[in-house]
């Protein structure tokens, strides 16, 4: 009988041995891009999630400190991105910063719509209490085969900038997707457009197949449309986004590409 | 137990043969051997009377698959010339169990390229035990019984003995060759056995000279078994089997196999008491299978995209089983067992000018099990006996990595682990109407859990119907009520055995088209998911006749038929048609045996192409001829020679269970020799 008992015990251990191990996500580390001092002596630093800005939706953070190092958390801040090209200037979609107390930073976002280089260079003007502080920022191109933001001319004659906010780190399986849509009012103003119905269709171009159980992004706030995307494997994925106003198709295929 | 009329029951039979400690366990087998075989003894015998049997099974040189295929109740699902998958009365896959000495072991390949039988060689085996019913001496719940491969068991002997064997074989078709050797040392309290085999084959030719490309294989297999007495009636035994296949072609599939490796280890403790007929076996075991598919040898135009598809299977388990004589004419056995199996299979595709694509085809599923098994046999009087067997099993299925869970988050919501209780029960009555005539009937309730593949497959391509399959964690267990009737008539010259069976299945698991899903495999026809359909039925019959007007001459005919329908009367998948094997054998002079055999399969028209992708298969008949002779140098030294030809007429044919109707081998001359010393 002892052996049977032993067997029961070992079998129980066997059953119980399926422990799950959770790995903690690494704390997001911000990287300082540039630093300047205002005429009032405030130290202003520009921060990003990655070491450089890219042609995509970029989170842009600002820290503001008095000369003695103490933090300023009640300043009025606005961002103004500007692309200086030889023949023209234009801005791009922007989300104005608000103070994030947990991070001790002001956080906003800029969609850089093209890389800096021979075509022109980007400036980001941060107005601190109405005083402009101009940063020259480099915007790196994305790896070939990826497209995180694009401008598409709609059937209504308007140009729309469609940008992928999430997923930042795509993984196999269900991912949250967040798409930002902005309409070009003029070369300097790109208000968020909240009136679309979006149909999402992911595809692997190298194989021609899609994936099941995606959830179409629906408008949440400020031009952000949120849904679910299912990546069944790693590799190249194209997100086909159909933008409709009511029953009218405005943009047939706003395609964004990513790979992981 | 229809086959061993005199021997009490399978368990007791095992005890008794072990108790007898024979050096040649073939003694009782000639007398009671039935035509509708249950147990096939593998080990080479020195007696002439066994030679015909060995000639037919192919001796140790044949693959385990080929030996299994000789069993009238078994058909093999063929995907190539190697690693065929057994189908018992047209039930296969998760509906039957395959174990090695009671150990659970699961293939690692997602395309069913590596059934357990492909990792075990006849040289490793004492016998192959086939069971047609759940709840009867099995090591897992099932619908249709199963196969247990009994590993070699070196014997304790009074004085010390050293025996050995060497053998080789050659087949003209495919230039196939086998080399094997074995050695056994035995003494009063220590015994040792080791064997090894190497086999290889090039592409074989189907009838009329058609070369079947990608039908090559090569493998080696080694087995060591050590036994030591720990007391008067107890011993420990350690077994280790390693089997490595390499460069194995699968003409029916789109990929071949780079390697298929198995490592199988077991440690057993056995205690016996001849007084009370008690036998207590406790075993702990582990096995690991490492499998890798390979498409690099295929012509570039056949490979839409290069991919790697490796898979692994790990099983750790233990069981303890005790059988004893409860009182006069009453035998009892029970067993407690448990195992944990972990599977993992993945696919990495390499498109041109784009990033590699990775995914799990089996997202790290695992199963743990605890089972309780009993069988109780009572002899009511000298003519009638009743046997009751049952099994209760608890199963827990889950995904053991976060990556696996993440991947299937796109398919399933919520908790996809499953826990379930399974029950098998069987009751069998046997009645000897007269010394020549006996009847038996069995009713069994079977149940089986969905396989981990059926629960968690992630776009696994099935070549048969051209669909990508998605698993379904919500599957209910499949259940069945089985009826089995046997009538046997034996005289000295004539034997007739009939067997009628039916399986009434509920919640039958099959694939069903999932609309709106895009395929993952390039060129696939669609996506299917495993579902339960309300019911299905399978029934059939077997008839075996044998006539021996004088001792040196024998005619045998075995005929089997199965038919399966689903709840809407559609024909089920992979149902073998009427099969008839007819053999004439005779012994000429001292120890030379000839046999001529025809193997016929009827046409199978009962298929459902729309639902299951199957197409009708033409009927076929082939003729085989063989001869064997034992040369006795000394009583202890025997040279066994055999030779012959299979598919004498060089027919071009395939059978219904051959996937993609890949042609079977054409004419094949073979020679085999084994020296026992």
Alpha carbon distance A135, A79 (integer Å): 11
Written as six digits, the tokens of B565 are 């329908």
What are the phi and psi torsion angles at B61 (to 5°)? -75, -25
**Using 50, 70 and 90 to split pLDDT, how confident is the model at B66?**
confident
- Is the pLDDT at A110 greater than 50, yes or no? yes
B519–chain A Cβ distance below 8 A for any pair:
yes
A233–chain B Cβ distance below 8 A for any pair:
yes
Nearest to B538 by CA among B235, B88, B162: B88
Alpha carbon distance B480, B538 (integer Å): 10
- Is the pLDDT at B28 greater than 50, yes or no? no
Alpha carbon distance A202, A129 (integer Å): 44
Which residues, 6 or more positions from B550, have their beta carbon under 8 angstroms from its beta carbon?
A: none
Domain A149-259 CATH (choose: 1.10.490.10, 2.60.40.10, 2.40.30.20, 2.40.160.60): 2.60.40.10
Work out how many domains chain B is built from and give that number.
1
B336, B352, B360 member nearest A7 (Cβ): B336
Alpha carbon distance A239, A178 (integer Å): 12
Higher pLDDT pick, B483 / B30: B483
Report, as an integer, the average pLDDT of B509-529: 91
**Angle of CA points B1, B4, B5, to nearest 5°:** 85
End-to-end CA distance of chain B: 35
Q: Is residue B257 part of a domain?
A: yes
Written as six digits, the tokens of B123 are 């040289």
Alpha carbon distance B246, B240 (integer Å): 20
pLDDT at position A102, please? Answer: 87
Q: Is residue B23 part of a domain?
A: no
Higher pLDDT pick, A6 / B202: B202
Nearest-by-CA chain B residue for A258: B355
pLDDT tens digits along B248-305: 999 999 999 999 999 999 999 999 998 888 999 999 999 999 999 999 999 988 888 8
Alpha carbon distance B430, B408 (integer Å): 50
pLDDT at position A19, please? Answer: 40
- Is the pLDDT at B204 greater than 60, yes or no? yes
Q: Is residue B14 part of a domain?
A: no
C-alpha distances out from residue A21 to A16, A17, B306, B312, Å: 14, 12, 34, 21
Report, as an integer, the average pLDDT of B123-127: 92
Nearest to B655 by CA among B611, B607, B600: B600
pLDDT at position A3, please? Answer: 52
What are the phi and psi torsion angles at A180 (to 5°)? -105, 130
Q: Do domains A31-140 and A149-259 have the same CATH topology?
A: yes
Q: Is residue B491 part of a domain?
A: yes
Task: Check: CB of residue A234 under 8 Å from CB of residue A172.
Answer: yes
A246–chain B Cβ distance below 8 A for any pair:
no
Alpha carbon distance B231, B239 (integer Å): 20
A15, A174, A235 member nearest B410 (Cβ): A174
Report, as an integer, the average pLDDT of B8-16: 32
Report, as an integer, the average pLDDT of A201-216: 91
Nearest to B132 by CA among B378, B392, B484, B481: B484
Q: How far is B316 from chain A (nearest CA, A)?
A: 9
- Is the pLDDT at B16 greater than 50, yes or no? no
pLDDT at position B315, please? Answer: 98
Q: How far is B308 from chain A (nearest CA, A)?
A: 14
- Is the pLDDT at A7 greater than 60, yes or no? no
Q: What is the pLDDT of chain A when averaged over all its residues? A: 87
B402–A213 C-beta distance less than 8 A: no
Please tell me what DSSP assigns to residue A238.
E
- Is the pLDDT at B46 greater than 70, yes or no? no
Alpha carbon distance B438, B636 (integer Å): 39
Alpha carbon distance B68, B51 (integer Å): 18
Q: Is residue B43 part of a domain?
A: no
Nearest-by-CA chain B residue for A9: B338
pLDDT at position B50, please? Answer: 67
Per 3-state DSSP, what percentage of chain A is helix, strand, and coil (rounded to 5)? Answer: 5, 55, 40
With beta carbons under 8 A apart, name residues in chain B contacting A236. 351, 354-355, 357
pLDDT at position B62, please? Answer: 87
We report the CATH number of the domain holding residue B104 as 2.40.170.20
pLDDT at position B3, please? Answer: 38
From chain A residues 1-30, the ones with a CB under 8 A of any chain B CB are 3-4, 7-8, 10-11, 14-15, 17-18, 20-23
B318, B355, B406 member nearest A235 (Cβ): B355
C-alpha distances out from residue B114 to A64, B119, B153, B289, B439, Å: 65, 8, 25, 10, 38
Residue of B318, B357, B360 to mutate, testing the A interface (most A Cβ within 10 Å of its Cβ): B357
Task: Note if the pTM is more than 0.90.
Answer: no
A171, A208, A211 member nearest B406 (Cβ): A171
Query: B330-350 and B365-379 as β-strands: parallel, antiparallel, unpaired?
Result: antiparallel
Nearest-by-CA chain B residue for A211: B518
C-alpha distances out from residue B430 to B328, B379, B439, B483, Å: 18, 9, 6, 14
B318–A209 C-beta distance less than 8 A: no
Q: Is residue B2 part of a domain?
A: no
List the alpha helices (DSSP H) in B528-649: 609-612
Q: What share of chain B has pLDDT > 70, as a percent?
A: 93
- Is the pLDDT at B6 greater than 60, yes or no? no
With beta carbons under 8 A apart, name residues in chain B contacting A205. 354
B230–chain A Cβ distance below 8 A for any pair:
no
Domain A31-140 CATH (choose: 3.40.50.170, 2.60.40.10, 3.40.605.10, 3.40.50.2300): 2.60.40.10
E-strand ranges in B296-450 read 306-327, 330-350, 357-362, 365-379, 384-399, 418-434, 437-448
A204–B336 C-beta distance less than 8 A: no
Query: B146-151 and B97-100 as β-strands: parallel, antiparallel, unpaired?
Result: parallel
C-alpha distances out from residue B115 to B201, B575, B624, B655, Å: 19, 18, 27, 19
Q: How far is B391 from chain A (nearest CA, A)?
A: 16
Q: How far is A104 from chain B (nearest CA, A)?
A: 33
Nearest to B329 by CA among B384, B373, B279: B384
Written as six digits, the tokens of B50 are 């066994």
pLDDT at position B9, please? Answer: 32
pLDDT at position B355, please? Answer: 87
Report, as an integer, the average pLDDT of B292-321: 94
Give the number of other CB atoms < 10 A from CB of residue B663: 20
A-B contacts (CB, under 8 Å): 119
**Using 50, 70 and 90 to split pLDDT, how confident is the model at B72?**
confident
Nearest-by-CA chain A residue for B347: A233
- What does the longest C-alpha to C-alpha distance in chain A come to? 92
HSE of B431 in the Cβ direction (CA atoms, 13 Å)? 6
Q: Is residue B190 part of a domain?
A: yes
Report, as an integer, the average pLDDT of A61-81: 88
Alpha carbon distance B11, B17 (integer Å): 10
Task: Check: CB of residue B644 under 8 Å from CB of residue B594.
Answer: no
Least confident of A37-51, B304-318, B603-617: A37-51
Question: Is the ipTM value over 0.90, yes or no?
Answer: no
Alpha carbon distance B120, A78 (integer Å): 74
Report, as an integer, the average pLDDT of A109-126: 91
Alpha carbon distance B592, B201 (integer Å): 29
Q: What share of chain A has pLDDT > 70, as a percent?
A: 89
**Angle of CA points A123, A128, A131, to nearest 5°:** 80
Domain with B81, as residue range(s), is: 50-676
Task: Check: CB of residue B208 under 8 Å from CB of residue B195.
Answer: no
Q: How far is A257 from chain B (nearest CA, A)?
A: 12
Alpha carbon distance B213, B203 (integer Å): 6
Report, as an integer, the average pLDDT of B570-584: 95
Task: Check: CB of residue A122 under 8 Å from CB of residue A129.
Answer: no
Alpha carbon distance A164, A148 (integer Å): 5
Q: Is residue B35 part of a domain?
A: no
pLDDT at position B49, please? Answer: 62
With beta carbons under 8 A apart, name residues in chain B contacting A204. 357
C-alpha distances out from residue B8 to B20, B333, B338, B434, Å: 15, 13, 28, 17
- B55: three-class secondary structure by DSSP: helix
Residue B461 CA, chain-centre distance (Å), reads: 24
**Using 50, 70 and 90 to split pLDDT, how confident is the model at B475?**
very high
What are the phi and psi torsion angles at A2 (to 5°)? -55, -40
Report, as an integer, the average pLDDT of A143-156: 92
Q: How far is A152 from chain B (nearest CA, A)?
A: 25
Q: What share of chain B has pLDDT > 90, as a percent?
A: 74
- Domains in chain A: boundaries: 31-140, 149-259
With beta carbons under 8 A apart, name residues in chain A contacting B351. 206-207, 235-236
With beta carbons under 8 A apart, name residues in chain A contacting B406. 171-173
């Amino acid at each position: 009988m002892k052996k049977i008992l032993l067997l029961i015990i070992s079998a129980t251990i066997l059953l119980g041995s399926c422990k799950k191990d959770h790995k903690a996500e690494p704390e997001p580390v911000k990287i300082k891009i540039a630093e300047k001092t205002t005429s009032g002596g405030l130290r202003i630093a520009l921060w990003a999630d990655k070491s450089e800005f890219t042609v995509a939706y970029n989170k842009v953070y600002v820290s503001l400190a008095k000369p003695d190092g103490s933090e300023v958390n009640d300043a009025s801040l606005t961002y103004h991105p500007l692309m200086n090209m030889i023949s023209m200037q234009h801005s791009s979609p922007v989300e104005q910063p608000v103070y994030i107390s947990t991070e001790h930073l002001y956080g906003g976002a800029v969609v850089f719509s093209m890389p800096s280089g021979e075509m022109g260079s980007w400036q980001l003007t941060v107005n601190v209490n109405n005083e402009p502080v101009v940063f020259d920022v480099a915007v790196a191109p994305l790896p070939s085969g990826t497209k995180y933001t694009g401008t598409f001319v709609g059937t209504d004659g308007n140009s729309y900038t469609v940008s992928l906010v999430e997923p930042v780190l795509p993984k196999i399986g269900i991912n949250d997707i967040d798409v930002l849509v902005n309409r070009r009012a003029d070369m300097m103003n790109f208000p968020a457009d909240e009136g679309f119905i979006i149909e999402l269709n992911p595809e692997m171009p190298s194989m021609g197949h899609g994936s099941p159980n995606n959830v179409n992004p629906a408008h949440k706030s400020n031009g952000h449309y949120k849904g679910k995307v299912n990546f069944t494997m790693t590799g190249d994925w194209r997100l086909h986004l159909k933008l409709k106003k009511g029953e009218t198709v405005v943009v047939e295929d706003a395609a964004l590409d990513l790979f992981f | 137990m229809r086959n061993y009329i005199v021997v009490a029951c399978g368990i007791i039979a095992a005890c008794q043969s072990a108790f007898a400690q024979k050096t040649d366990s073939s003694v009782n087998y000639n007398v009671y051997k039935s035509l509708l075989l249950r147990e096939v003894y593998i080990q080479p015998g020195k007696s002439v009377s066994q030679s015909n049997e060995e000639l037919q099974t192919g001796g140790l040189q044949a693959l385990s698959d080929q030996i299994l295929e000789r069993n009238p109740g078994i058909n093999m699902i063929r995907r190539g010339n190697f690693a065929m998958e057994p189908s018992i009365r047209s039930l296969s896959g998760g509906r039957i169990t395959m174990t090695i000495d009671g150990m659970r072991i699961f293939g690692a390949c997602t395309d069913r390229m590596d059934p357990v039988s492909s990792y075990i060689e006849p040289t490793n085996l004492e016998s192959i035990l086939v069971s047609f019913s759940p709840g009867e001496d099995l090591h897992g719940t099932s619908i249709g019984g199963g196969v247990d491969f009994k590993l070699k068991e070196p014997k304790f002997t009074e004085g010390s003995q050293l025996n050995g064997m060497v053998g080789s074989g050659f087949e003209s078709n495919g230039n196939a060759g086998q080399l094997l050797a074995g050695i056994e040392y035995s003494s009063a309290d220590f015994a040792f056995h080791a064997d090894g085999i190497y086999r290889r084959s090039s592409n074989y030719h189907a009838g009329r000279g058609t070369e079947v490309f990608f039908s090559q294989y090569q493998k080696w297999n080694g087995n060591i078994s050590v036994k030591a007495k720990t007391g008067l009636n107890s011993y420990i035994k350690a077994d280790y089997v390693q089997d490595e296949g390499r460069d194995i072609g699968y003409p029916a599939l789109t990929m071949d196999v780079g390697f298929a490796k198995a490592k199988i280890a077991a440690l057993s403790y056995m205690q016996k008491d001849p007084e009370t007929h008690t036998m207590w076996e406790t075993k702990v075991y582990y096995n690991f299978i490492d499998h890798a598919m390979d498409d690099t040898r295929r012509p570039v135009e056949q490979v839409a995209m290069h991919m790697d598809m490796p898979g692994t299977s790990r099983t750790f388990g233990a069981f303890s089983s005790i059988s004893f004589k409860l009182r006069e004419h009453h035998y009892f056995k029970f067993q407690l067992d448990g195992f944990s199996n972990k599977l993992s299979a993945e696919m990495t595709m390499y498109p041109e000018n784009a990033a590699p694509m990775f995914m799990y085809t089996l997202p790290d599923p695992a199963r743990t099990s605890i089972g309780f098994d009993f069988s109780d046999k009572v002899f009511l009087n000298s003519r009638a006996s009743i046997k009751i067997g049952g099994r209760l099993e608890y199963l827990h299925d889950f995904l053991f990595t976060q990556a696996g869970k993440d991947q299937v988050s796109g398919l399933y919501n919520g908790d996809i682990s499953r826990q379930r209780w399974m029950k098998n029960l069987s009751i069998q009555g046997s009645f000897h109407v007269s010394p020549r005539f006996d009847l038996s009937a069995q009713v069994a309730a079977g149940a089986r859990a969905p396989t981990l593949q059926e629960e968690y497959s992630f776009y696994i391509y099935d070549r048969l119907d051209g669909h990508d399959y998605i698993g379904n964690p919500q599957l209910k267990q499949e259940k069945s009520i089985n009826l089995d009737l046997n009538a046997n008539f034996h005289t000295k010259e004539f034997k007739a055995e009939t067997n009628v069976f039916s399986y009434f299945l509920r919640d039958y698991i099959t694939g069903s088209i999932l609309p709106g899903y895009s395929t993952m495999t390039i060129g696939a026809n669609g996506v299917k998911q495993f579902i339960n359909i309300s019911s299905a039925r399978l029934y059939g019959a077997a008839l075996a006749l044998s006539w021996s007007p004088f001792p040196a001459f024998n005619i045998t005919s075995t005929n089997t038929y199965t038919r399966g329908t689903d709840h809407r009367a559609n024909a089920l998948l992979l149902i073998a048609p009427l099969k008839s094997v007819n053999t004439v054998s005779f012994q000429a002079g001292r120890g030379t045996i000839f046999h001529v055999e025809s193997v016929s399969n009827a046409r199978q028209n009962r298929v459902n192409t729309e639902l299951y992708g199957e197409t009708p298969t033409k009927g076929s008949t082939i003729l085989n001829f063989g001869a064997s002779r034992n040369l006795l140098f000394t009583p202890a030294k025997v040279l066994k020679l055999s030779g012959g030809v299979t598919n004498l007429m060089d027919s071009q044919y395939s059978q219904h269970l051959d996937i993609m109707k890949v042609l079977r081998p054409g004419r094949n001359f073979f020679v085999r020799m084994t020296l026992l010393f």
